[in-house]
Structure 1
Amino acid sequence: MLIADKKFEKLEELSNRDEYEGCIFLNCNLANGNFSTTRFIECEFVDCNLSNVLVSETSFREVSFKNCKMIGIQFDTCNQLLFEASFESCQLDHSVFFKMKLKQAHFMNCQLVEVDFSETDLSNSKLNGCDLSGTKFDHSNLEKADLTSSINLVIDPEINKINQAKIPFSQLPGLLAKYNLKIKKDS
């Protein structure tokens, strides 16, 4: 069933297998819900709790998430055809983006603690002002990615593509982490 241009507030359950187009979800607590096979097109989630939501074969096309708690979501199981989502001030800890094509994705001021970006294409993406503590980059493509003002960055340049990536000077030691060097600032 197509549901279009509707505003949902304080929703606690969402019917999966529907299609939502141009909808806004405000202050919804949908944690542990099942979004499997649901389609979201040009939708916006604001101040929602979406932690541990099942997204198997879920479609996200031009979807924005703002100030949302999204812990432990397995994005790699969603429908990746035309996947397009942006994240602003979201908590995405322990989420998985394994092998996804996230070219030009936007993660602004997000908490990305222990997120799995293994084999993910993040080329031309923006990860600005993000906490990347324990985030896994393994055979990932970060070419021309903008990581300006992100912190706790650890990327092995020998196994990841980082050509022309923008990395804050303060995070350069994270590119040498595997060598266990003690880098000191000149006085």
Structure 2
Amino acid sequence: MDECGWVSEVLEEETRKLKSTMLIANETFEKLTALDNQNEYECCTFKNCDFSGGNLSATKFIESEFIDCNLSNAKLNETSILDVQFKSCKMLGIQFDMSNPLLFSAIFENCQLNDCTFYEMKLRQAEFTNSSLEGADFTAADMKEVKITGCDLSNANFDRANLEGADFLMSVRLQIDPELTRITKAKLSMSQLPGLLSKYNLKIKG
């Protein structure tokens, strides 16, 4: 195949992709169990939807909201999550690090995020409030000044993460190795200090 023929095929494929992508805006969806992926959802609301184990890859969610939804183990390969709020959602085992790294800003409130992966992600535009993050992997993530307040952080991994100025107030079961993690100016309560010193096997008395 000559060069012109190859270029023509590439352009046709890109045109096909553009035609198959729909922009859906200002809609409310309730009790869905599947979603056409690769579409763009802008200013949409999803309520009581069950997308667990579903394929949401290459989909764009912009300024949208998920309320009381189940997204556990959903596939988010190259998914864009921009200014999205998740409220009271079940989101177990999601590999957020497979999503679009350039378009990720989200607020998680009262969510179950156990065993989720945020490996090497830029999370400065993320916020976690009153959520369960048991076993979550934040290894090498950029979390400067991120808010993780009122959360359960049992067995969450922060090794090599940038936690400068991060707010952990009211969160419980926090364990951080200061020798492996940048925690300058992080906001911590006195009750969280044992989680920074556990590797030294010290006995701390109040």
- TM-score normalised by the chain length of structure 1: 0.97
1:76-95 paired onto structure 2 within 5 Å: 76-95=97-116
Instruction: Measure the CA separation in 2 of the matches of 1:82 and 1:70.
Output: 19
Letter in 2 for 1:70: M
Q: Which residue of 2 aligns with 1:181?
A: 202
Give the equivalent residue in structure 2 for 1:148: 169
Counterpart Cα distance in 2 of 1:50 and 1:168: 32
In the other structure, the counterpart of 2:26 is: 5
Which residue in the other structure is 1:105 paired with?
A: 126
Residues 17-44 of structure 1 show CA distances to partners (whole Å, capped at 9, x for unaligned) of: 1110000000111100000000000010
AA aligned to 2:178 is: P
Q: Percent identity?
A: 56
Verify the 8 A CA contact 2:60 2:79 in the aligned structure 1: yes
Displacement of 1:82 after TM fit? 2.6
Question: Is 1:44 matched with 2:65?
Answer: yes
Match of 2:88 among 53, 67, 78: 67
Confirm or deny: 8 A CA contact 1:104 1:126 kept in the other structure: no
Q: How high is the TM-score relative to the length of structure 2?
A: 0.88
Q: Segments of 4+ in structure 1 off by > 6 A? A: none
Provide the secondary structure at the position in 1 that maps to 2:66. strand
Larger Rg: 2
Question: 5+ residue gaps in structure 2?
Answer: 1-21
1:152-163 to 2 correspondences below 5 Å: 152-163=173-184
Task: Provide the residue aligned with 1:126 in structure 2.
Answer: 147
2:4 corresponds to: none
Say if 2:131 and 2:152, in contact at 8 Å, map to a contact too: yes
Q: How large is the Cα RMSD of the aligned pairs?
A: 0.7
Q: Is the 8 A contact 2:105 2:125 kept in 1?
A: no
Higher share of residues assigned helix? 2
Secondary structure (helix, strand or coil) at the match of 2:192 reads helix
CA distance in 2 between counterparts of 1:103 and 1:97 reads 12
Partner of 2:46: 25
Q: What is the DSSP-based 3-state SS (H/G/I as helix, E as strand, rest coil) of the residue aligned with 1:176? A: helix
Distance 2:23 2:125 in 1: 28
Contact persistence 2:97–2:121 (CA under 8 A): yes
